[in-house]
Chain A
Amino acid sequence: MTGSAVKRALSTLGFAAVAVYCLAPFYWMAISAFRRPQDQFDNTLVPSRWSWENFSAVFSGDNGFGRALLNSVIVAGATTVLTLLIGTFTAYALARLDFRFKNAVLGLIVATTMFPGISQLVPLLKLFTDIKWINTYQAMVLPSLGFALPLSVWLLTAFFRQLPFELEQAAMVDGCTRGQAFRKIIIPLAAPGVFTTAILTFIAAWNEFLIALSMVNKKEMQTATVAISKFTGVSGFDQPFGTQMAAGVVVTVPLIAVVLVFQRRIVAGLTAGGVK
């Protein structure tokens, strides 16, 4: 009786420790965002006076943060759509068709996820400078595809494999072509997997920093992550932490909401892929 009570208390304690470890820094960011700028360096756990001043500073004219958010949506969205469009076909082939070198192709695609981004960046930076692509969306989307695509092909392959082969074969016996069987049977069945892959790809593309930092030098084309890191304070030499924390909250809260809503799907995707 007492033994189980102790065990229960210990596991509660463990749970609390894990939750605090994961949430405390995020809590600090959120709470700092709600402080008044003059209270910024208070170390109280709750702001003495709550204020939206930092948030209005984020969206004030000279930061161009609204535009940066829009850029992030465009870049991450385009990367996700293109990745799914291309990746689904490849994953279908790898999961459902029999052909030589199948494992070699899958291995090659997986191997590209290990590729250090900087090796890709230097030549592409030079190429994009030559063809005047610097400060364009495609200059950010295209390199991102190089990382998003292998990951999603791998995930989708894992999802497609889990579907029963018989359904597709039955459809083909009933007169469907492979294409029809794919469109009418596989895609609807795989929809949850495709959706999971879409979320993971979008998050990864949204979090991208190195490519966006290098391919763009115009303020209007910056993505949100880059824009926040370049916020300048009112006083010039000081880091405007209040504004940055507020911007951080604006960027992360939607992500965290999505993550919480689709928690199960995301965990399934992460454990299927085992990456990032």
Chain B
Amino acid sequence: MTTTESAPAAGTAAAGAPRGRGKGDVQGTRRLAALLLSPTLLVLALVIGYPVLAGFRESLYARGEGLDADGFVVEGDRFVGLDNYTAIFQGDRADAFWNAFSNTTFFTLTTVVLETVIGVAMALIMQQAFRGRALVRASILVPWAIPTAISGLLWRWIFQADGAANAVLRQEILWTADGFPAKAAVVIAEVWKTSPFIGLLVLAGLQMIPRDVYEAARVDGAGPVQQFFRITLPLVKPALLVAVLFRMLDVLRMFDLPAVLIGVNQRSVETLTMIAWFEASNLRYGSAAAYATVLFLYVALIAYLFVKLLGADIIGEARGRTRRARPVRTARGRRRAAA
């Protein structure tokens, strides 16, 4: 925008004289910022921005297999408008879509609720000062460090018909076949992998709470339960909300775990990502792109609702810090916060 006028000013700034805070410096800063930001923005435009647009365009096309008005076979892509989308919601494919949609939603709800509860419990346990703390903290990182695909295999092994899970439970459940046990297997494996991580984040949040708040509560006669619901929970809420938001968005696009643990194209565990992947791997790009776009909108909607309703503030911390570091700019910061 201002590149042509700022060129000479930036030139002198780049010459490196320790100048005062003149106008040239501001413009030089701006130029430098643009220069430093551009590689990242370029890469993101290429590998995220382009796919969003190309994917939407793709979803309006289908592979030409039909005949045109003169009876010739049409080669290449053919514009079909919203047909790919209507195909998702209507006809025989609608069933598969709603199944994948409800699986995705089911996994998101169950795993996030379970891992939040278990994670918070873990954090409360780990908060007790004790010798074994370093060990527990280290072990909590193990499930996180194992690649999801490998943990899928690991749980597939555990959930074998004559595997460890059935031996421990003394049951004969066919976990990795179809039906509800397959869903349960995915939920268990996912919760195992991710709840320690929530625990870690909540623990970090817990450690920020000053001890005297609890002392004051104890003096006022609050029991442990009251302390938890009145002090701990409200104070860790910001950290917890961000963690939960990211976990939710992660489960919504789940692929590795059910694909390896149960398999692709399995009704009981097929998620939206899996159905889109299956379409793409069968070269039905238009239809795959339509599924991907629907998932994209679903993810965006959930993220929007979450941020709006619960007020999860992802860059809030960053914003707060900027404001503190630059008191001169508070007026502008406030204006932005109000907007």
Q: Which of A48-56, A119-127, A185-193 contacts B (4 or more CB under 8 A)?
A: A119-127
Q: Which residues of A contact B300 (CB under 8 A)?
A: 114
A86 x B43 contact (CB < 8 A): yes
Whether A236 sits at the interface, judged by CB under 8 Å, is no
Q: How far is the CA of A127 from the CA of B53 in the complex (A)?
A: 13
Q: Which residues of B contact A207 (CB under 8 A)?
A: 147-149
B285 x A126 contact (CB < 8 A): yes
Q: Mark B20-59, 1 if CB is under 8 A from A, else 0.
A: 0000000001101110110111011011101110110010
- B205 to chain A: closest residue by CB: A271
Among A14, A93, A116, A143, the one with the most B-chain Cβ atoms within 10 Å of its Cβ is: A116
Whether A105 sits at the interface, judged by CB under 8 Å, is yes
B16 x A119 contact (CB < 8 A): no
Q: How far is the CA of A209 from the CA of B253 in the complex (A)?
A: 13
Q: How far is the CB of B175 from chain A (nearest CB, A)?
A: 14
Q: How far is the CB of A5 from chain B (nearest CB, A)?
A: 13
Whether A106 sits at the interface, judged by CB under 8 Å, is yes
Q: Which residues of B contact A183 (CB under 8 A)?
A: none
A228 and B321 contact, Cβ closer than 8 Å, known pairs A28-B157, A99-B33 = no
B255 x A229 contact (CB < 8 A): no
- A127 to chain B: closest residue by CB: B54
- B42 to chain A: closest residue by CB: A86
A226 and B125 contact, Cβ closer than 8 Å, known pairs A90-B39, A149-B43, A263-B141 = no
For chain B, residues 129 to 160, give those with C-beta under 8 angstroms from any C-beta of chain A: 130, 132-158, 160
Whether B114 sits at the interface, judged by CB under 8 Å, is no
For chain A, residues 80 to 103, give those with C-beta under 8 angstroms from any C-beta of chain B: 86-87, 89-90, 92-94, 97-100, 102-103
A259 and B141 contact, Cβ closer than 8 Å, known pairs A14-B128, A214-B280 = yes
Whether B277 sits at the interface, judged by CB under 8 Å, is yes
A210 and B160 contact, Cβ closer than 8 Å, known pairs A99-B29, A149-B43, A165-B325 = no
A116 x B299 contact (CB < 8 A): yes
Whether B18 sits at the interface, judged by CB under 8 Å, is yes
Q: How far is the CA of A115 from the CA of B252 in the complex (A)?
A: 10
A22 and B40 contact, Cβ closer than 8 Å, known pairs A12-B130, A161-B321 = no
Whether B289 sits at the interface, judged by CB under 8 Å, is yes
Q: Which residues of A contact B292 (CB under 8 A)?
A: 116, 118-119, 121-122
Among B34, B134, B288, the one with the most A-chain Cβ atoms within 10 Å of its Cβ is: B288
Q: Mark A202-215, 1 if CB is under 8 A from B, else 0.
A: 01001101100010
Whether B215 sits at the interface, judged by CB under 8 Å, is no
Indicate the size class of the contact surface on chain A.
Answer: 35 or more
Whether B197 sits at the interface, judged by CB under 8 Å, is yes
Whether B281 sits at the interface, judged by CB under 8 Å, is yes
A149 x B40 contact (CB < 8 A): yes
Whether B334 sits at the interface, judged by CB under 8 Å, is no
Q: How far is the CB of A10 from chain B (nearest CB, A)?
A: 9
B260 x A123 contact (CB < 8 A): no
Q: Which residues of A contact B201 (CB under 8 A)?
A: 270-271, 274
Q: How far is the CA of A207 from the CA of B147 in the complex (A)?
A: 5
Q: Mark A166-193, 1 if CB is under 8 A from B, else 0.
A: 0000001111111010000000000000
B48 x A229 contact (CB < 8 A): no
Whether B126 sits at the interface, judged by CB under 8 Å, is yes
Among B34, B50, B154, B201, the one with the most A-chain Cβ atoms within 10 Å of its Cβ is: B154
Q: Mark B236-261, 1 if CB is under 8 A from A, else 0.
A: 00010011001001101101100110
Among A25, A99, A117, A241, the one with the most B-chain Cβ atoms within 10 Å of its Cβ is: A25
A274 and B315 contact, Cβ closer than 8 Å, known pairs A29-B154, A150-B44, A251-B147 = no
A248 x B153 contact (CB < 8 A): yes
Whether B192 sits at the interface, judged by CB under 8 Å, is yes
Whether B314 sits at the interface, judged by CB under 8 Å, is yes
Q: How far is the CB of A166 from chain B (nearest CB, A)?
A: 11
Q: How far is the CA of A85 from the CA of B43 in the complex (A)?
A: 12
A15 x B295 contact (CB < 8 A): no
Whether B303 sits at the interface, judged by CB under 8 Å, is yes
Whether A69 sits at the interface, judged by CB under 8 Å, is no
A228 and B142 contact, Cβ closer than 8 Å, known pairs A106-B315, A116-B273 = no
A-B residue pairs, 4 tightest by C-beta = A146-B47, A123-B54, A14-B125, A93-B36
Contact sample, A vs B, 6 pairs, CB 8 Å cutoff: A118-B277, A119-B292, A126-B285, A146-B43, A158-B318, A177-B14
Residues in chain A within 8 A of chain B (CB atoms): 8, 11-12, 14-15, 17-19, 21-23, 25-26, 28-29, 32, 41, 43, 86-87, 89-90, 92-94, 97-100, 102-103, 105-107, 109-110, 112-127, 142-143, 145-146, 149-150, 153, 157-158, 161, 165, 172-178, 180, 203, 206-207, 209-210, 214, 225-226, 228-229, 239, 241, 244-245, 248, 251-252, 255-256, 258-260, 263, 266-267, 270-271, 274-276
10 more A-B residue pairs beyond the given contacts A110-B315, A114-B300, A226-B149, with a C-beta to C-beta distance below 8 A = A22-B142, A90-B37, A94-B37, A102-B322, A119-B293, A124-B47, A255-B146, A256-B142, A256-B146, A263-B141
